[in-house]
């Protein structure tokens, strides 16, 4: 199987956990994987140390995102493609997993259309239009380079930064990047690793839910998880067999989710 695994920034504080890497190594004996990572919290911390307080905005659909101006995209690129990506590459390689770390800029893996304007809502629910900054919507994936690396036995680790038509770096959401990559690569499974057990409704983990069913409860899912569910729907729409949302902590986090022992499975029907 081809797996696309997104590691949430929430689980990457000390790099990838050794249980996670061990699990991945075992899975790679019979499968191939492409990893995408997050890291928002660390970007915010380092930006703050540099004296650049981060601003977050909320879309009318309830997506929370970083307001990415010129200085912010530079800090974002340094922390994500530099520090975090390389920590994961080292963690994998220390376990004997051949790994290539890259951002969407490298080999033009991810091309995106820059968002010129954004609609945001304030705490009082009032809508405003602001400049889009350095954020974008992915519209093209260079699957060739990724497939080439996979064929040669390398596991690519992708930082969610895309290239604009004007050759600028753009901040793109990690969950959606993973979903788009999974669709473009015709992956069998998309696995979203996070810091909660899975999709929770009324305080309980939902073990399995279909796409149409989950659409009905979207309104009651909070920020963070709602982005994952939207990403899951996008991946299923693009032909991915199943999406698993699960905790990245604990023993064998990926393989137990693949066996439906933990997490939330989102199915096409």
Ligand X SMILES: Nc1ncnc2c1ncn2[C@@H]1O[C@H](COP(=O)(O)OP(=O)(O)O)[C@@H](O)[C@H]1O
- Binding residues (CB under 5 A) for Mg ion: these are 224
8 scored as a contact of ligand X (CB under 6 A): yes
11 or 97: CB nearest Mg ion? 11
Between 34 and 149, CB nearer to ligand X: 34
Binding ligand X (rule: CB under 6 A), the pick from 222, 239, 251, 261 is 222
Q: Distance between the two ends of the chain, CA-based, in angstroms?
A: 21
Long-range contact list for 237-240, CB < 8 A, 24+ apart? Answer: 237/183, 238/179, 238/180, 238/182, 238/183, 238/184, 239/183, 239/186, 240/4, 240/179, 240/182, 240/183, 240/187, 240/188, 240/189, 240/190
Q: How many CB atoms lie within 10 A of CB 227?
A: 22
Angle at which helix 225-237 crosses helix 174-184, to 10 degrees, equals 10
Query: Total number of residues binding ligand X (CB under 6 A)?
Result: 14
Q: Smallest distance from the beta carbon of 199 to ligand X, in angstroms? A: 5
Return the residues of window 10-39 that contact ligand X according to CB under 6 A.
10, 38
Residue 176's CB is within 10 A of a number of other CB atoms, namely: 21
Q: Which residue is listed with tokens 């890291």?
A: 39
Find the shortest distance in angstroms from Cβ 193 to Mg ion. Answer: 11
| Rounded least distance, CB 12 to ligand X, Å | 8
164 scored as a contact of ligand X (CB under 6 A): no
Cα–Cα distance measured from residue 55 to residue 202, given in angstroms and rounded to the nearest whole number? 30
188, with CB counted inside 10 A (0-12, 13-18, 19+), is: middle
Which of these ranges, 2-10, 52-60, 160-168, 178-186, lies near ligand X under the rule CB under 6 A? 2-10
Question: Which CB, 112 or 196, lies closer to ligand X?
Answer: 196
| Nearer to Mg ion among residue 90 and residue 249 (C-beta) | 249
The CB-nearest residue to ligand X is 8
Q: Which one, of 157, 206, 197, lies nearest residue 178 by Cα? A: 157
Residues 177-196 touching ligand X, rule: CB under 6 A, are 194-196
Please, what is the minimum distance in Å from the beta carbon of residue 244 to ligand X?
Answer: 13
Task: Give the whole-angstrom CA distance, residue 123 versus residue 209.
Answer: 32
178/5 Cα distance (integer angstroms): 7
Q: Rounded to an integer, what distance in angstroms lies between the CA atom of residue 200 and that of residue 204? A: 5
Q: How far is the CB of 195 from ligand X (least distance, A)?
A: 5
Residue 200 binds ligand X (CB under 6 A): yes
For the CB of residue 40, give the shortest distance to Mg ion in the complex, in Å: 6
257 binds, among ligand X, Mg ion, none (CB under 5 to 8 A by kind): none
**Residue 224 interacting with ligand X (CB under 6 A):** yes
Where does this chain bind ligand X (CB under 6 A)? 8-10, 38, 194-196, 199-201, 221-222, 224-225
């Amino acid at each position: 199987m081809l797996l696309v695994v997104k590691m949430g920034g929430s689980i990457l504080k000390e790099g990838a956990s050794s249980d996670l890497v061990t699990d991945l190594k075992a899975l790679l004996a019979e499968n191939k994987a492409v990893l995408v990572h997050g890291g928002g919290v660390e970007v915010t911390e380092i930006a703050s140390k540099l004296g650049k307080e981060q601003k977050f905005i909320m879309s009318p659909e309830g997506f929370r995102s970083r307001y990415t101006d010129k200085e912010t995209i530079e800090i974002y690129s340094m922390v994500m493609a530099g520090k975090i990506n390389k920590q994961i590459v080292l963690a994998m390689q220390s376990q004997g997993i051949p790994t290539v770390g890259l951002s969407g800029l490298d080999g033009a893996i991810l091309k995106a259309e820059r968002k010129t304007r954004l609609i945001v809502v304030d705490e009082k629910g009032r809508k405003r239009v602001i400049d889009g900054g350095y954020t974008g919507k992915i519209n093209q994936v260079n699957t060739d380079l990724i497939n080439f690396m996979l064929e040669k036995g390398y596991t690519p680790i992708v930082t969610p930064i895309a290239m604009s038509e004007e050759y600028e770096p753009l901040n793109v959401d990690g969950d959606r990047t993973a979903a788009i990559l999974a669709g473009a690569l015709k992956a069998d499974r998309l696995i979203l690793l996070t810091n909660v057990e899975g999709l929770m409704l009324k305080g309980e983990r939902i073990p399995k839910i279909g796409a149409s069913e989950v659409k009905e409860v979207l309104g009651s899912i909070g920020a963070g998880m709602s982005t994952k569910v939207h990403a899951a729907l996008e991946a299923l729409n693009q032909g991915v067999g199943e999406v698993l949302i699960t905790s990245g902590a604990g023993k064998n986090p990926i393989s137990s989710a693949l066996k439906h022992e933990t997490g939330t499975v989102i199915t096409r029907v």
